Copies of this chain bind each other. A is one copy, B any other.
């Protein structure tokens, strides 16, 4: 029997993640007790710790799944972007933001981001940081694509611009998660207001 162990392992990993995500969403990260997660996943507390290093790691695993999906959606947009700088940026970023609250609540995001900052050397925090880097690379690729198609001026430093756009949208997302009352639409509007004037500056087609 090639892998009863492997099968059980995969099954338990999934059950723990499902139980944790359910409880994190229902009761909030802090209120969801490890003991309860273990019980719902039908494993002991000790076993849970064989699968995840600590409570935070379980959350960051969910985030990693989430960001992976966002990256896939983003790739489609970058492959064939609107041929207008501001609009292309808006489309990509909207994709990121709209997906963000589908699996995770603001509170879960806050916790995940806090963990990845506070303990950057755990494996899953590294993974989080790596995914962040891929998102940044995707924004840079968008600027490069637009430049290749003559929409962005040739002289523009695509890497610098992409990094700055990304850091801005990322920081704005953090602010968004910090304010429970803030709606997605407000976030999008504010980021767009920041990016539009810069987009105009680097755009080949000047609107006078």
A114 touching B120, Cβ below 8 Å? no
B110 touching A178, Cβ below 8 Å? no
Contacts A171-B170, A171-B171, A172-B167 given: A157-B197 contact, CB under 8 Å?
yes
**Cβ of A189 under 8 Å from chain B:** no
**Interface residues in A114-130 (C-beta closer than 8 Å to B):** 114-118, 120, 129
B201 touching A160, Cβ below 8 Å? no
Question: Given the complex, which residues of B lie within 8 Å of A129, measured CB to CB?
Answer: 178
Question: Given the complex, which residues of B lie within 8 Å of A113, measured CB to CB?
Answer: 114, 117
14 A-B contacts (beta carbon < 8 Å): A113-B114, A116-B178, A117-B178, A129-B178, A156-B201, A160-B198, A163-B194, A164-B164, A164-B195, A167-B167, A167-B172, A168-B168, A198-B198, A201-B201
**Cβ of A2 under 8 Å from chain B:** no
Q: Which residue of B lies closest to A132 (CB)?
A: B175
Question: Given the complex, which residues of B lie within 8 Å of A170, measured CB to CB?
Answer: 171
Question: Given the complex, which residues of B lie within 8 Å of A101, measured CB to CB?
Answer: none
**Cβ of A10 under 8 Å from chain B:** no
**Cβ of A43 under 8 Å from chain B:** no
Top 10 A-B pairs, shortest CB-CB distance? A114-B114, A167-B171, A114-B118, A157-B197, A120-B178, A167-B168, A160-B194, A114-B117, A160-B197, A164-B168
